[in-house]
Amino acid sequence: MTVKQPNNLPDWLQQPNQLTSQPQRHNFLAHNQQHLTHLLARLAQPAPAVNPTRWQLSPSISLIRLGILVLLIALTNNTIWLWVLGLLLAGHLLVLAPSQLRRFTRSWLLSTGIALVVVLPSYWLVGPATVLLFVCKTGLILASTQYYRLTTTFQDLLSGLKALHCPNLFIMTLAVAITYLRMLGHYLLQTMMALDMRLVAPAKHPYQLIGTLFGNLFLKSHAYALELYAAMEARGFNGQYVNQPTTTNRWHDYLTLTPYLVLVVVFIFGGIYGIN
Amino acid sequence: MALIELTDLSYDYPNTCGLDQLNLQLNAGEFICLMGPNGSGKSTLLRILSGLEPATHGTYAFDGQVITTDYLADPQDRQRLHQQIGLVFQNTDVQLFNTSVVDEVAFGPRQLGLSEAEITQRVEDCLALTHSTDLRDRVPYQLSGGEKKRVALASVLALNPKVLLLDEPLNGLTIAAQQQMLTLLKTLQAAGKTIIMASHNFKQVQAVEPRFVIFNADHQIQADLTAQELAKQPEQQAELLTL
């Protein structure tokens, strides 16, 4: 075998490639690779949050609103109450743009469907009434969280948690974990693109390839975690996370909270008179 | 007929514009250097040319074949395109996933179904061309940034693509290694390959006299000049030196 010296191109590199076209042997894998790529693209670059109102709602009020709604849904067993809470939620959804509403509906139906599948065996154990109530409550909780996710950026979530005096270490861990997950998603997406560029024919050992990819991802994520911590230490991090001062709320922030506070009051006094 | 033809090509990210109304014709055997500020769309264009992403609007034709979303959705068509176009990623870390440098370079030729003798020949040639022969038994994961760049180029060259796309190939290389890489690219061009590279390093790239396609911050093509034409425009040169 003769090894060519640099810049003296070998013959095979100076001749055009014979294009080959081999039939796909692993359609299932190829199909799923595309699905995974789309999923990773969404993870690495999530769709931007939309603000449905004219003013920017304070992150802490937005989080309190979600907390009250989820709490009320979880605590009540009264269908009229669920209906009222559903109406309140529907009122918020009405101001969403059609495209956002479509996104909301798609993901909400999917998550509620999964919840229904999980709880379905109880239909035969305790009867349809419990299943129906559970699905209604779960559906409403999922809708509230989906709406929150759709209208709130990750930065706003962190600001909201800071304003509500959540432990700093928890906020920092959440921030690093989400950023890290997105980074890993982006990394895996890029790796799959690179693999796609060099998979010029159906893969000979596709499962071995998947194993190699994930092994690499593990090694690199471990190295990245160590580097990240070293970088934090180099910038003075000593285990104590100091956060920035929180923003103050304005009058219209409190105004949007009013219906929720009214509901809480009615719920508490309703409990005394036994209507929830 | 041009090898690559872009007509009113645009690309939109979920919340920003990636490319805006590009019209460009690139001929076989050309050496093209894409230049422009950060985020101007150079890497996005390379991803579209490589068939990793379809354009949002407009058309992209490669060798007379219009590359549509449907075309890219077909695995066989996609693979045929990737046999003709090779891409060296900006972050070469994502490109190297095998357990040794030899396996990394042999990965592509193995997919093509070449004989073991041919594969070995290609691997040794590519490692020699990229000055990476001494790295052959190393683990790609443990290489330095510059070494990874060289191995990534070797792994793409082993497929003998008609068009070579390189995203910032000179980053992380020493001056000597940059010159070696540019010399290799120029030699490949002389052998008939089409070289399209994105770079910020005007001073180094100038030496190989490429055709300069310059992007502006609005994701549009600001200028399309040969090296000779650019030499007559000191203002444009001064602007490129600040990138």
Residue A113: CB atoms within 10 A of its CB come to: 12
Query: Looking at A174-188, A197-211, B20-34, B154-168, which range is the least confident one?
Result: A197-211
Can you tell me the distance from the alpha carbon of B176 to that of B181, in angstroms, rounded to the nearest whole number?
9
Chain B neighbours among A 36-75 (CB < 8 Å)?
45, 47-48
SS3 B25: strand
Q: Provide the β-strand partners of residue B32.
A: B196, B211
- Cβ contacts of A40-48, under 8 Å, gap ≥ 24: A40/A185, A40/A186, A40/A188, A40/A189, A40/A192, A41/A189, A43/A181, A43/A182, A43/A185, A43/A186, A43/A189, A44/A182, A44/A185, A44/A186, A44/A189, A45/A186, A45/B13, A45/B14, A46/A182, A47/A103, A47/B14, A48/A153, A48/B14, A48/B15
Measured CA angle at A39 (ends A34, A40), to 5 deg: 100
Domains of chain B: 4-241 (3.40.50.300)
Say what the ipTM of the complex is: 0.84
Residue of chain A minimizing CA distance to B191 = A14
Looking at residue A4, its pLDDT comes to: 47
Q: Do B47 and A16 touch (CB under 8 A)?
A: no
pLDDT band per the 50, 70, 90 thresholds, residue B243: confident
Structure token pair of residue A15: 């001749």
Q: Which of A193, A198, A204 to mutate to test the interface with B (most CBs of B within 10 A)?
A: A198
Distance CA B243, CA B235 (A): 13
The answer to whether A16 contacts B15, with C-beta atoms less than 8 Å apart, is no
Rounded Cα gap, residues B52 and B11, in angstroms: 13
The domain limits of chain A are: 59-152+247-272, 166-245
Q: What is the pLDDT of residues A182-222, one digit of tens each?
A: 888 888 888 888 888 888 777 667 777 788 888 888 888 88
Q: Is A32 on the interface with B (CB under 8 A)?
A: no
Among the partner residues A7, A22, A199, nearest to B184 by beta-carbon distance: A7
> Are the Cβ atoms of A3 and B125 closer than 8 angstroms?
yes
Nearest CA-CA distance, residue B33 and chain A, Å: 20
pTM score > 0.90 for this model?
no
The answer to whether the CB atoms of B80 and A19 lie below 8 A apart is: yes
Q: Supply A241's token pair.
A: 């996370």
- Give ∠ CA A62-A68-A72 in degrees, rounded to 5: 150
Q: Give the other-Cβ count within 10 Å of B144's Cβ.
A: 10
Contacts of B191 in chain A (CB under 8 A): 9, 13-14
Q: CA geometry: angle at A253 spanning A247 and A259, to 5°?
A: 145
> Does the pLDDT value for residue A6 go beyond 60?
no
The amino acid at residue B118 is: E
Chain A residues 193-232 within an 8 A CB cutoff of chain B:
193-204, 212-213, 216, 219-220
CA dist list (Å): B59 to B143, B168, B188, B195: 39, 25, 28, 21
pLDDT reading at A25 higher than 70: no
pLDDT at A2: 46
Six token digits for residue B86: 């090779």
pLDDT digits (tens, 9 = 90+) for A123-136: 888 778 888 888 88
Beta carbons of B82 and A196 less than 8 Å apart: yes
Neighbours of B160 (CB within 10 A): 24
- Cα A58-A60-A61 angle, rounded to 5 deg: 65
